[in-house]
C-alpha cells in the first residue's frame, strides 16, 4: 500500500542537515549554535458563510466564545510542536500570541500567530502549528453552523533571528 521512501544518495545527504551520511532522516544537532532571539509569524484564513460570520460577530454561536477558545488552542499547540512534528527540537518559548481578526465583509477570520524564543533554533514550525490549530479550532466550534468552512493560505509571514537573519514573505500575509 505504501511505497518505501527512497533514501537520499550519500553525496546529497551531506548537503541536507536532516539526513545523515547514509541518507537517513535525523534530528539536526544544534548544540554548537548560539542561542539568539528567534521570532516567527504565521497566518491562516478561515473562510465561512456570511451568516456564520455574522453569528460569530454577534456572539451568538452555541458553543460560546469561539475566538477565546481558538486563541488558547493555538497557544497550547505551539508549546507542543515538538510532539507533533518528528524532527523538531523542543524550544523554550518566551511568548506566543494569537490574533484573530474577523473580516465580516469577506466572511473570514484571519489568524496570526506570533511566537518568540531565546534558543538555538527557530520557531517557524511553532508559529505554523499555532495558526493551524487555532484555525482548526474555529472550524470545530463553528461546524455545527457551517460545514463548508475552509482553512486557506496557511503560511509563514516572517521570521527573524539565527544565522539566516530576517525573511519576510513578499506581498504580506
Catalytic site positions = 140
Q: How far apart are CA 111 and CA 132, in angstroms?
A: 9
Residue labelled with grid coordinates 505554523? 128
Polymer length in residues for the chain: 173
Question: CB within 8 A of 127, min separation 6: which ones?
Answer: 40, 41, 42, 78, 113, 114, 115, 156, 159
Q: Which three cell numbers stand for residue 136?
A: 482548526
Environment class of 21 (CB within 10 Å of its CB; exposed 0-12, middle 13-18, buried 19+):
exposed
Amino acid at each position: 500500500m505504501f511505497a518505501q521512501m527512497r533514501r537520499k544518495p550519500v553525496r546529497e545527504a551531506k548537503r541536507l542537515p536532516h539526513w545523515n551520511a547514509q541518507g537517513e532522516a535525523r534530528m539536526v544537532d544544534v548544540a554548537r549554535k548560539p542561542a539568539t532571539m528567534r521570532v516567527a509569524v504565521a497566518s491562516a484564513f478561515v473562510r465561512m458563510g456570511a451568516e456564520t460570520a455574522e453569528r460569530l460577530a454577534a456572539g451568538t454561536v452555541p458553543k460560546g466564545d469561539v475566538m477565546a477558545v481558538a486563541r488558547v488552542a493555538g497557544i497550547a499547540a505551539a508549546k507542543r510542536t515538538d510532539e507533533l512534528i518528528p524532527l523538531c527540537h523542543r524550544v523554550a518559548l518566551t511568548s506566543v500570541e494569537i490574533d484573530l481578526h474577523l473580516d465580516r465583509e469577506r466572511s473570514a477570520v484571519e489568524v496570526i500567530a506570533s511566537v518568540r524564543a531565546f534558543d538555538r533554533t527557530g520557531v517557524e514550525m511553532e508559529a505554523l502549528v499555532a495558526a493551524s490549530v487555532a484555525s482548526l479550532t474555529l472550524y470545530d466550534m463553528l461546524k455545527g453552523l457551517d460545514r463548508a468552512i475552509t482553512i486557506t493560505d496557511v503560511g509563514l509571514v516572517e521570521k527573524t533571528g539565527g544565522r539566516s537573519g530576517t525573511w519576510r514573505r513578499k506581498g504580506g500575509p
